Amino acid sequence: MINIVVAQASFIAALMFYMGVIYTSAYYGHFHLSPFFLGFGFAEFVLQSLHLMTFPVLVGAVVLLIAVAISGRRPRQALPGGLVRVASLGTSVLARYYLVVVVAGLVLVVLWWVWQLLLPYRWLGPLLIGLGLLLGEARRIDVDHTPRGLRDTAVPIFAAGVFLLWTVTLAAGQLGEQDARNAERDVIQRTGLVVFSAKRLGLTSRSPDLHFEDLGNSVHLRYRYTGLRLIAARDGRYYAVPIGWSAKTDHVYVLREADGMRIELTPGVQ
């Protein structure tokens, strides 16, 4: 029992780490950064994977749990007979036409790969292929009651696992890109930076909201910069962008607090 629990926990942790890497790479890649350059660790990648726990994902997990409960013998008796019959009929129909599900997934993959169509739903093709392969394997078990070799069962299950992992990869990357675009659009709401420096930093931008002010010779940190928003802060370095930042044309500033520089954090403008 302990070995089973440890194995399952290790698999879940590895999957969360993988999803966290894909998500953070897509998110910070939009800002021309890399999570490995920022020094993210294993625990941080695992925590970042929690961004994938969106409402559609939770609904899908609940539906999957209900389907598993219906397929069992004991839980089936506790559920309404109509629900069991409808679920069993739907599963049997899908299993009977599993090749149609696989072909539909292949068509979606080709449409995305060749014509770049259905980009918001590019994960749907691999998902249908993986589910179709699993449905086909379930149908063979129900129809053919004779024992099957390990190779006959391992190959389709492994292929389905590969396509489902591809689905997770595409979904995590797409969610990271979407969250990064939302952060770019609402960058004014992020934590603000006020930079005081003894020397001019030469921060330039197309944005009119990036302001520079000379406080005079009587002030040690005489140069004051405002209009910056924080993207990440790691190991004494602040990664900031100006208000109105664009991923296609603008730079990301890397600032490090030192004796000749002071950085103050302010609330973002709502």
Where does a domain end: 170, 185, 200?
185
**pTM for the structure as a whole:** 0.79
11 & 73 share domain: yes
DSSP secondary structure letters along 64-126: HHHHHHHHSHHHHHHS-HHHHHHHHHHHHHHHHTHHHHHHHHHHHHHHHHHH---GGGTTHHH
pLDDT per position as a tens digit, 231-264: 999 888 999 999 889 888 888 999 988 888 999 9
Q: Which domain holds residue 172?
A: 2-185
Query: Across residues 143-169, what is the average pLDDT?
Result: 75
166 & 202 share domain: no
What is the enclosing helix (H) or strand (E) of 178? helix 150-185
Among 177, 195, 194, 184, residue whose Cα is nearest residue 244? 184
Where does a domain end: 185, 203, 237?
185
231 & 242 share domain: yes
Domain total in the chain: 2
41 & 167 share domain: yes
pLDDT per position as a tens digit, 30-81: 999 999 989 899 999 999 988 887 756 666 666 655 554 554 444 444 445 5
Hey, what are 172's tokens?
């995590």
